[in-house]
Every structure is written in structure tokens, then in C-alpha cells.
Structure 1
Amino acid sequence: MTEYDLPLVMVAPAGPPATDEPTDFDAFWAANLAAHRDIEVEPTLVAAGARSRDLRAETVTFAGFQGRPVTGWLLLPVGAAATLPGLVELRPAGGAAARDLEWLASGGYAHLVVEVPPDDLDDPYNRGAFTDAFRAVQALRTLASVDPSRIAVLGTGPVAAAAVATAGLLPDLACALVEGDVAAAHKDSLVAFARRASTPLQLTQGAGAQVLQEEWGRNAALALSQMTGSVERVVECVLTADSDLVTRRTRWIARHTHLTNVFVPQVAY
């Protein structure tokens, strides 16, 4: 079967916001992102030790929500001849960000792991975590070694929802993976993000998975149907008990970052 890249599409609901969405959703996020546009996002990189001589490791710091420092860990293959596809992996803060990166970087990817703060259950917009996640993608895209049109995002565990928000805010991601429960406190916002997403999604079964599966990627489905003449599946739901987590993730990411017709990001930073 022929593989297709998603063209750029306008990320907006097909009609007026549904009653289950915050009434000022689009205006709020447009204002929030505009307020961060003048805050420099290019990361500071410091060389670090890698466990393999074929990989280069660096610690990463960039400005996140309201300019606060966000830390991460970047791994890249040594001696790559061309710009690399990338993955932004969002993990809960307090974990070991420097662990378990080789599974993707050794295959020719720039793998950025970022620690995202816990969900703010008192904030229906969850601005801190979602803005940090959005800016992590921006930070990776500034690197000369990375192809900005081939970036995937992975959200895991308690911060999986941040990947949903990132895909809703960025129409030109290559793909998204959501591996964790969706907090009920943010359901309305995440439904709104899912409706605006235009990138293929792989998600694991869990709390909130059904609503994401139902609401995700109307723009992506329409774009693909126009290109191919048929309805392509843009959402894949998998069991949480993976026998080979690395293989499953890698196949999904590779499928959507190694296509021949690569679009050019046009998001205003």
C-alpha cells in the first residue's frame, strides 16, 4: 500500500465549538502561545557521556512555561550524514531522564526526553505541562541536525495527555503516541485538542482512550481521504501489555517519519 504524508491542514473544528468544549478554548491557547513567542526556545546543550560510542549524548535546557527552565536529555547517532527525524518523549518529572534512550537513537533518530511536571488538576487548561510539551517540540526543531518536518511525540504515564495537547496545537507533527490515562479533570480540553489534531495517533488502552479514539484526527482523516480516494485509518489502539514495546513504538514512528513526500512545517514560532 502506498504511504502518504499528511498535507498541512487548518486545525479548527468543522463548526462552532461543541457544548463540551470550553467556550474560549481557541482564543485562550492562541493568546497563551503568542505570549511565549518572544521567549527564546533554542536549547542550551552540554555534552554528556553515552553508553555507546556510536551515540552522542547531551543534556538539554530550554525555556518552558513562562520562561521557566525545562531539562531534558538528547541522544543522537554519531556521524549522521543528513538531518535526522526526531522524537520528543514526555516523561513525568522525577524519573531517570537519561535512561533507556538507545532504543530509538541507535536507529538514526534524534531522541529528546523531557521531564514534564504533573498535571495541575486545578487548572482545566493544564497550562504548565502542556506549554512545556509544546515548547519541547519547538526546541528540538531548532537543532540543525534535526529535520523539523519529521518529528514525533510520545507521552507516557501520568503525562501522556501532554502528547494529546501537543498534537492539537501543532498541525505538522509526523505522528503521536499516547501511552497513559487521561485525567478526568482535563477531559474537555483534551477532547478539544483531539478534534483539532491532524496527525496519526497510536494509543494504548486505558482511561480516556475510548474518547480519544472517537474524537481524534478528523482533519487527518479528511486530508488522507482526499489524497487517496479512500478512508485511511489514522488511529491505532493497542493493548497496554506489550510483548515488545520497543518494536511496536519504532514501527509506528518509522512508518510516519520515513515517507517520501515530506511537508514543510509552517507553524509560527
Structure 2
Amino acid sequence: MSEYDLPLVTVTPAMPPATDEPANFDLFWAQNLAAHRDIEVAPVLTAASARSRDLTAEAVTFAGFEGRPVTGRLITPSQADATLPGLVELRPAGRAASRDLEWLASDGFAHLVVELPQDDLDDPYNRGVFTDAVRAVQALRTLASVDPSRIAVLGSGPVAAAVVAAAGLLPDLACALVEGDIPAAHKDSLVAFARRASTPLQLAQGAGAQVLLEEWGFNAALALAAMTGSVERVVECVLTTESSTAARRARWITAHTHLKDVFVPQIAY
């Protein structure tokens, strides 16, 4: 081992109680994502109309869970001269993905709104919706105009839980915003995802919010302890009730995607 090597750290909780997480949780998701690697994720883009000549709008389709089509809309600045930070916004299907995208695209972001189907409350893994969320991030990252290292994910209402899954499965997100309740049917899976998350989280009040605050980044702290010998909180979690939704979102996303230095997580309760 050279002097620059760090010990190998497995970023999974050590021996959780048998009843605490779904059986074979990590193996299940590793196999599920591996099964999708041969399904092309690069989105098909079709020109659409934008409400401003300074923005470019495109309808988006990509292959989600088991190849099913997932649709959305992408808005980008028309005259971008560099790779853009990105936002994947998850919304329930039918909630007008063609509207109100300009709030972040006009500030220099590639803003992808994705329409997700309803949660499968009979599946404790909710694998369809959660896989679609991961594939949405992967789809945006394939675009040459987007910086894959600066992707934020926002979920609100009935699909907010999918952000928790994306953060648990993708350790390199710039930040996450969760603005909805945690379905009781998926609580155990979402707790497991939160423990594995290593990205800053902004959390709005809702059912299950306290559980996420307690569990988010638990495993990231264990990984840091294994490498450094010290135990620190390493994930920034903010429980917010700020009323100005658009301003709050834009400020948080901009702060975490426009960093010029290597991301060093902080904690703020």
C-alpha cells in the first residue's frame, strides 16, 4: 500500500438488526441496478416551446424501471457557454411538467422535471419509482451540456420519498431536497437509504421528517470514522419551514452546486 492509499471502507451499516431493514437490502438494490445497466438511459430530446427566448425547452423520454418510458421536460439557458449544474425535479405523473420550470433554468441550470408514477404501496422496496428516480439522474448526467458532478435532486408531495432512495443509491449527488411525507409502507427501506446517504439534505416538515433527520448520513459518519479514527457528523441536514419556497430552493441548490472547492459536508440543525 502506498502512502497515498486509504483503507477500503464498505459504505454499509455494520450488521443492522434483522428486523430493522428489509432482508438482503444492499444485495437487492445492487442486483436491481445491475440488471438495468444494459438498458440505454440516454434521453430522447424533442424540441418544445419555452416561455422565454433566453431558454431552450425540450420534451424528454428515457427508459426507466425495466425499460418503461419515463417522460419529462428539460429547460436550459439558450446561450450557455460552459457545462451547467443540473436539477432533477421529481413530480407525480400528471402534474404539468411543462409549467413553472423557469425558476431555476434562468439562473443557469439544466432543469429536468420528471413525472413519476404513484408509489407501489404493496412493494416494500417500491423498486419501480425508486429505480426511475435513479435513472432520471443518470439520464441528465449523459448530456454533454451538464456537469455530472453538480446534480441536485428535488422531490415534493407524493414522490418526495424517491429523493431519499436516489441519495442512498447515488453517493455523489450535490444535494437533495425532500418536501413530502414518508409513506409508512416504505419506512424501513427509506431509513436504510437515509443511513447510506452522503449528500447534504434540506428537509421540509412532514410525516417521517424526524426519522430522516435522525438517520440521514449515519453510514457516512461510520465511513469517515473508519478512515480517520474520529466520529463526526458529516452530512448537512436542515429542517426548514421557510415560507418562500422558490427562494429557499434556489438558495440551497445554488449553494451546493456552485462550490469551487471539493465538497466538505457540514452539519446544521
TM-score (norm 1): 0.89
Aligned pair count reads 252
**Higher relative contact order structure (alpha carbons within 8 Å, sequence separation ≥ 6):** 1
- Alpha carbons of 1:143 and 1:211: their partners in 2 closer, same or farther (altered >3 Å)? same
Q: Distance in 2 between matches of 1:170 and 1:233?
A: 14
Q: 1:43-82 deviations in whole A, cap 9, x for unaligned?
A: 0000100000110000000000000000010000111110
- Alpha carbons of 1:233 and 1:68: their partners in 2 closer, same or farther (altered >3 Å)? closer
Q: Distance in 1 between matches of 2:63 and 2:205?
A: 33
- Give, in angstroms, the shift of residue 142 of structure 1: 0.1
Q: Counterpart in 2 of 1:196?
A: 196
Q: Distance in 2 between matches of 1:127 and 1:232?
A: 28
Q: Distance in 2 between matches of 1:160 and 1:214?
A: 18
**SS of corresponding position for 2:53:** coil
**SS of corresponding position for 1:140:** helix
Q: Counterpart in 2 of 1:16?
A: 15
Whether the aligned pair in 1 keeps the contact of 2:9 and 2:223 (CA below 8 Å) is: no
For structure 2, the 5+ residue unaligned runs are 1-7, 264-269
For structure 1, the 5+ residue unaligned runs are 1-8, 264-269
- Give, in angstroms, the shift of residue 23 of structure 1: 2.0
Amino acid at match of 2:257: T
Q: Distance in 1 between matches of 2:128 and 2:23?
A: 20
Whether the aligned pair in 1 keeps the contact of 2:220 and 2:235 (CA below 8 Å) is: no
Q: Counterpart in 2 of 1:217?
A: 217
Q: Distance in 1 between matches of 2:90 and 2:133?
A: 7
Whether the aligned pair in 2 keeps the contact of 1:161 and 1:180 (CA below 8 Å) is: yes
Q: Counterpart in 2 of 1:50?
A: 50
Q: Counterpart in 2 of 1:25?
A: 25
Q: Counterpart in 2 of 1:127?
A: 127
The correspondence of residues 83-98 of structure 1 with structure 2, limited to 5 A, is 83-98=83-98
Whether the aligned pair in 1 keeps the contact of 2:198 and 2:235 (CA below 8 Å) is: no
**SS of corresponding position for 2:23:** coil
Q: Distance in 1 between matches of 2:135 and 2:173?
A: 13
Whether the aligned pair in 2 keeps the contact of 1:221 and 1:234 (CA below 8 Å) is: no
Amino acid at match of 1:199: T
- Give, in angstroms, the shift of residue 12 of structure 1: 2.8
Following TM superposition, where does structure 1 have runs of at least 4 consecutive aligned residues deviating by more than 4 angstroms? 219-226, 229-233
Whether the aligned pair in 1 keeps the contact of 2:200 and 2:236 (CA below 8 Å) is: yes
Q: 1:70-101 deviations in whole A, cap 9, x for unaligned?
A: 00100001111100000000000111001110
Whether the aligned pair in 1 keeps the contact of 2:149 and 2:174 (CA below 8 Å) is: yes
Larger radius of gyration: 2
- Give, in angstroms, the shift of residue 11 of structure 1: 6.7
Whether the aligned pair in 2 keeps the contact of 1:11 and 1:196 (CA below 8 Å) is: no
Q: Distance in 2 between matches of 1:231 and 1:178?
A: 20
